[in-house]
Amino acid sequence: MAHSIRNVLTCAMGALLGAALTLASAQAQTPLRVGKAVPEAFSFVPLDIGMRKGFFKSRGLDVESIAFAGDAKMQQAAAAGGVDLMLGSGPGLGFIAKGSPVKGVAAMAGPPLLLAIVVRPDGPKTVADLKDKKISVSTPGSLTYFLVSETARRQGWGPKGIDIKPMGAMPGQIAAMKRGDIDGAIMDIGNALQLVKLGEGRILVRFTDIKDFHIHVIFGTDKIIAEKPAAVKAFLEGWFETIRFMRNNKAETVKIAAEVTDKDEEITAQVYDELMPMFSDTGKFDDKALSLLSRSLVELEILKTETDMTKLFTEAMLPK
């Protein structure tokens, strides 16, 4: 009888200890809300892969992914305290100069290989035909807005030489293009290739000639940087481990990315080959890219005067 009681007590104590350890482990996980500027772009797939492979969890982070319909809406959420970190655009640094309570914490990707201007099959034939045409973007001040404006500026028409239509999420933009409400849309290359495959669109403009650029930046709110810098650093360590994994594991990356972006694996494999070169392995900001952004933000009337870009980001939490 005594032996049985001892066994019961031992089992009970073991169960309690296991529960306590599980609770302690759960409590040790730092919650982190991470925003994506848009839900379907391959650029932001590293967040999903890092979550699935446990690269963030192994560093004590409980990451929640939140998708938005463009940079502007995500920046609004940051100002309202709705997110901690954001995967956004390089031109999004302009929001900081205008008072957004965030800072860039890593240069996530360089040349704007992600995006393309797509038109209907019977639409404009050349870039020169885009003057005064209606091209949709996600939101004002977003990366997509910047690149369409930059296209007009490079053609000598000024930043308003193309009629830019902010229309929110991509499904609505594609539907509007099919109806003929707009002449085209700027979109990620995955959606572009999908429309081409279906015979519903034609790629008119790529941005491969823009070399010194930061298409994407990881942002942190002033609050999370001040209160939990170790969590930000842990996230960045997990992020760059994810990029290394993606470079070395194409098949698994493509499989996960196809699920996240809702594209077939054939198209996703093409996107992988096109876009992996743009990802940074270090997160360090480039002076030439920052100079281009500073000048362009003024030319596109996002800012009135050029600003000291070094005040808009910090490299203090990058992995050494």
pLDDT digits (tens, 9 = 90+) for 166-200: 998 889 999 999 999 999 999 989 999 999 999 99
- 3-state class (DSSP) for residue 44: helix
Helix 265-275 to helix 189-198 angle, to the nearest 10 degrees? Answer: 140
Mean pLDDT of 287-316: 88
Rg of the chain taking only CA atoms, in angstroms: 22
pLDDT above 60 for 21: no
Q: Listing from the earlier edge strand, what are the strands of the sheet with 184-188?
A: 163-166, 134-137, 184-188, 115-119, 202-206
Q: Tell me what pLDDT residue 8 has.
A: 45
pLDDT above 70 for 14: no
Write down the CATH superfamily of domain 115-206.
Periplasmic binding protein-like II (3.40.190.10)
For residue 54, what pLDDT band results from cuts at 50, 70 and 90?
very high
Paired tokens of 240: 């760059």
Q: Tell me what pLDDT residue 71 has.
A: 84
Q: Tell me what pLDDT residue 6 has.
A: 53
CB neighbours of 23 closer than 8 A, spacing ≥ 6?
A: none
pLDDT above 50 for 222: yes
| 222: nearest Cα among 122, 118, 85, 91 | 85
Q: Between the CA of residue 202 and those of 33, 72, 111, 124, 223, what are the distances in Å?
A: 36, 28, 22, 10, 44
Say which residue, 19 or 284, is predicted with more confidence. 284
Residues belonging to the chain: 320
For residue 19, what pLDDT band results from cuts at 50, 70 and 90?
very low
Say whether pTM exceeds 0.85: no
Q: Nearest-5° angle of CA 108, CA 109, CA 110? A: 140
Q: What does the pLDDT look like over 131-157, one tens digit per residue?
A: 999 999 988 877 888 899 989 988 999
Mean pLDDT of the chain: 89
Write down the CATH superfamily of domain 30-112+213-312.
Periplasmic binding protein-like II (3.40.190.10)
For residue 10, what pLDDT band results from cuts at 50, 70 and 90?
low
Q: Tell me what pLDDT residue 61 has.
A: 98
Cα end-to-end span (Å), the chain: 60
pLDDT above 60 for 4: no
For residue 17, what pLDDT band results from cuts at 50, 70 and 90?
very low
Mean pLDDT of 301-308: 84
Q: Do domains 30-112+213-312 and 115-206 have the same CATH topology?
A: yes
**CA 268 remoteness from chain centre:** 17
Q: Nearest-5° angle of CA 188, CA 189, CA 193? A: 130
pLDDT above 90 for 272: yes
Q: Between the CA of residue 100 and those of 74, 203, 257, what are the distances in Å?
A: 11, 34, 31
Domain ranges of the chain: 30-112+213-312, 115-206
Specify whether the CB–CB gap between 220 and 102 falls below 8 A: yes
CB neighbours of 224 closer than 8 A, spacing ≥ 6?
A: 32, 84, 85, 231, 232
Q: Tell me what pLDDT residue 312 has.
A: 95
Share of the chain above pLDDT 90, in %: 70
Q: Tell me what pLDDT residue 7 has.
A: 54
